[in-house]
Amino acid sequence: MSKHNKNHNQPSHSKPDAVRMRLDKWLWAARFYRTRTLAKEAIESGRVHYAGSRVKTSKEIAVGDELSIRQGSATAMTEKTVVVEALTAQRGNATDAQVLYSETEESEERRAYYAEQRKLANLARPDNKPNKKERRDLQRFKHQQD
């Protein structure tokens, strides 16, 4: 065999029709996390669950597996339950990434409900801060109540 044979010793992860692949690599390719390192940290910190339990970074997933993924900050945490539809080792654009998974209906409804609750909670806040006159009026009103 020649050293320059392109098909010689080709790694298995480069095949697009792979049967199984590492969870951290799939999360990166599906654009849930910007880097594989961030995907690894999310898995290790328990924000990614497979079949209802925590997993390791090297967990091999296949088409049809169901994952629960929590993303966001503590105040705006969203949890998605997705079903793996396809596997790829290459990270593509966002439209290509959406083909790799489908979100369950319960997950979509739950996220819409929590988004609505966050929106309603923000309606209680005023649009702007009170000016000096309004602050003085508020202080007078509070002192009259005491």
Query: What pLDDT does 65 receive?
Result: 95
Segments of the chain scoring below 70 in pLDDT: 1-18, 146
Query: What pLDDT does 18 receive?
Result: 62
Residues 6+ apart with CB under 8 A from 70: 42, 47, 48, 77, 78, 79
Query: What pLDDT does 127 receive?
Result: 79
CA 76 to chain CA mean position, Å: 12
Nearest of 90, 85, 89, 83 to residue 69 by alpha carbon: 83
Query: What pLDDT does 17 receive?
Result: 53
CB 50 within 8 A of CB 61: yes
Query: What pLDDT does 22 receive?
Result: 95
CA 50/CA 60 separation, integer angstroms: 10
CA 116/CA 129 separation, integer angstroms: 24
Query: What pLDDT does 123 receive?
Result: 76
Query: What pLDDT does 14 receive?
Result: 43
- List, for residues 21-39, the tens digit of each pLDDT value: 999 999 999 999 999 999 9
Handedness of CA 18, 20, 22, 23 (dihedral sign): positive
Nearest of 101, 6, 16, 24 to residue 63 by alpha carbon: 101
Query: What pLDDT does 120 receive?
Result: 86
Query: What pLDDT does 80 receive?
Result: 93
